[in-house]
Amino acid sequence: MTGHRTDAGPAAPADTALAAPADAPAAGPAAPSPERVGRGFVAGIALASLGLWAALYTPVQVLLARQLEVVSPGHKEASLALVTGIGALVALVANPLVGALSDRTASRFGRRGPWLAGGSLLGAAGLGLLAGQHTVAGLVAGWVLVQLGLSAAQAALVAVVPARVPVSQRAVVSAWVGATQPLAVLVGTAAVTGLASDAAGYLVLLVLLLAAQLPFLRSLREAPAKAAAERGPAAGGRTGPRALLRSFLISPRRHPDFALAWLTRLLIQLGNATGTLYLLYFLRDRIHYETLFPGRKAEQGLLVLVGLYSVGIVLAAFAGGVVSDRIGRRKAPVTAAGLVIAVGAGLLAAVPTWPVAIVAAALFGLGYGVYVSVDQALITEVLPDPETYGKDLGVINVAAALPHVLGPAIAALLVTHLGGYPALFGTTAVLSALGAVLVQRIRGVR
């Protein structure tokens, strides 16, 4: 199951991140409807996403966790929380910043392509650095570089969807992109589990990352960006650090649906971040997988859970995306998805056994599959301005990055001092249910 970065209590961040000047417009200009996209576009963006997610999720689930068992055996939970938390803090800043900068980029290669390419190369350099590290400080440095590069690449990639995909296709396209998240964990985990060393695992991920970006970058066709004077202050009509920072201020009062979508994503992703970080340790230390199945490693049990999760998410993502696009409704599927996730987490909290973990993995997959496809489509319908898609999606992605700053600290505290794994999964259930209920307050989307 995934720990998302891919893609940051709740009321305070929403008010702080989304506060705005009083003269902010209530709504941006309507974007012209894009033409329907074909199979080549969908396949390319899905493959690019697969490479990004594999490079982000596999280290957290397997490689970093294994390295820290050797580097910091007596404090592995706290050390993993430190490494992933600092990396997520970098992503928290980099994602919206690169989104805003890509809105302002006017190159012959388009707005998003240069950032997708450059970010992927920087992320690959970080993976190469991680391959040779044997200290906590070295792992922090390498993971920060990975998060910085891949946050830039992700910010550019997600901004392509609302610009190129019509509303009637967005849930289905989002399903293809969303389905690559668990598939990336499955592919990445399978690729590195049997290798002789963690260093080899990082090199495999490096090659996969770069190879997955090339087809989409070669086929990406972007309309030339407007001149800064045409785009206005929010999109780059004014330049300089102050104008750039001011462009991130989006009023919850003037754009309440945007603020509610932000808070909903924060809650569900915070539940996901706290509930998935320690899965390898949960199997080894709480379920005692290696005692239950002599001769097998906990990583193999993790691969079973990831496989079930992946099947559930792929099936549910496409089913949810198709149904949502056909009926034109987003809120009901997102609510149902959050509640299904909450049920899966609640089962693990109440009965932490291997059979229940199998059932919970399937429920997590079904719920998260619907969520990643339909929620992303919902968000594209509450963006304030078509000229600032990159920046606005970057602000939304703060709600996906902030949980991975807060989540490791919360998870470590729960596991080590506040009740152990039952408390951890109980917290995931509560957060997911709150997010599921809150989405119903969004008024501008059916």
Mean pLDDT in order along the chain per 10 residues (446 residues): 40 33 39 76 94 92 88 87 88 86 80 92 97 93 96 90 84 84 81 83 95 92 54 49 67 84 90 83 91 90 86 86 84 92 94 94 90 84 79 82 80 88 94 92 84
d(C-alpha 412, C-alpha 268), whole Å: 18
Domain annotation covers residue 21: no
Q: Which residue in this structure is represented by tokens 């992703």? A: 269
Kindly provide the b/e burial profile for residues 120-145, where b requires at least 16 CB atoms within 10 angstroms of the residue's own CB.
Answer: bebbbbbbbbbbebeebeebbbbbbb
Tokens of 272: 């996901």
- What the block records as the tokens of 24 is 């902010």
How far is the C-alpha of 108 from the C-alpha of 114, rounded, in Å?
Answer: 10
Other C-beta atoms lying within 10 Å of the C-beta of residue 114? 18
Listed residue (444, 408, 406, 436) closest to 9, CA to CA: 406
Residue with tokens 């059932």: 359
Q: Cβ atoms within 10 A of the Cβ of 374, count?
A: 32
118 within domain boundaries: yes
Structural contact between residues 396 and 379, judged by C-beta atoms closer than 8 angstroms: yes
In a domain, 446, yes or no: no
pLDDT at res. 32: 57
Domain that holds residue 405: 37-221+251-441
CB atoms within 10 A of CB 332: 15
Structure tokens at 243: 């104008």
Could you tell me if 153 and 367 are in contact, meaning their C-beta atoms sit under 8 angstroms apart? no
| 243 within some domain | no
Contacts of 43 (CB under 8 A, 6+ apart): 215
Q: What is the pTM of this model?
A: 0.70
Counting the structural domains of the chain, the total is 1
Contacts of 173 (CB under 8 A, 6+ apart): 37, 42, 45, 161, 165, 321
Residue 292 lies in a domain: yes
Percentages helix, strand, coil for the chain, rounded to the nearest 5? 75, 0, 25
**Inter-residue contact 138 to 155 (CB < 8 Å):** no
d(CA 336, CA 218): 38
Give burial (CB, 10 Å; 0-12/13-18/19+) of 211. Answer: exposed
> Coil, helix or strand for 212?
helix
Give the rounded distance of the alpha carbon of 52 from its chain centre: 10
Whether residue 106 lies inside any domain: the answer is yes
Q: Does residue 12 belong to any structural domain of this protein?
A: no
| Residue 129 to residues 47, 132, 249, 260, Cα–Cα distance (Å) | 24, 6, 36, 39
Q: Which of 384, 211, 348 is nearest to 276 (CA)?
A: 348
**CA dist list (Å): 384 to 41, 239, 345:** 25, 20, 34
| Whether 150 contacts 52, CB under 8 Å | yes
Q: Do residues 91 and 56 touch, judged by C-beta distance below 8 A?
A: no
**What single-letter DSSP state applies at residue 132?**
T
- Please report, for the domain that includes residue 93, its CATH number: 1.20.1250.20
What are the tokens at 217?
């970058």
In a domain, 297, yes or no: yes
CA atoms within 13 A on the CB side of 223: 11
What angle, 0 to 180 degrees and rounded to 10, lies between the N-to-C axes of helices 389-401 and 256-276? 40
- Are 154 and 397 in contact by the 8 Å Cβ rule? The answer is yes
Position 59 scores a pLDDT of: 92
pLDDT at position 249 is 67
Residue 434: closest CA among 341, 302, 301, 330: 341
Q: Is 133 left (phi over 0), alpha (psi -120 to 50) or beta?
A: beta
Give the pLDDT of residue 444. 79
Would you state the pLDDT for residue 20? 35
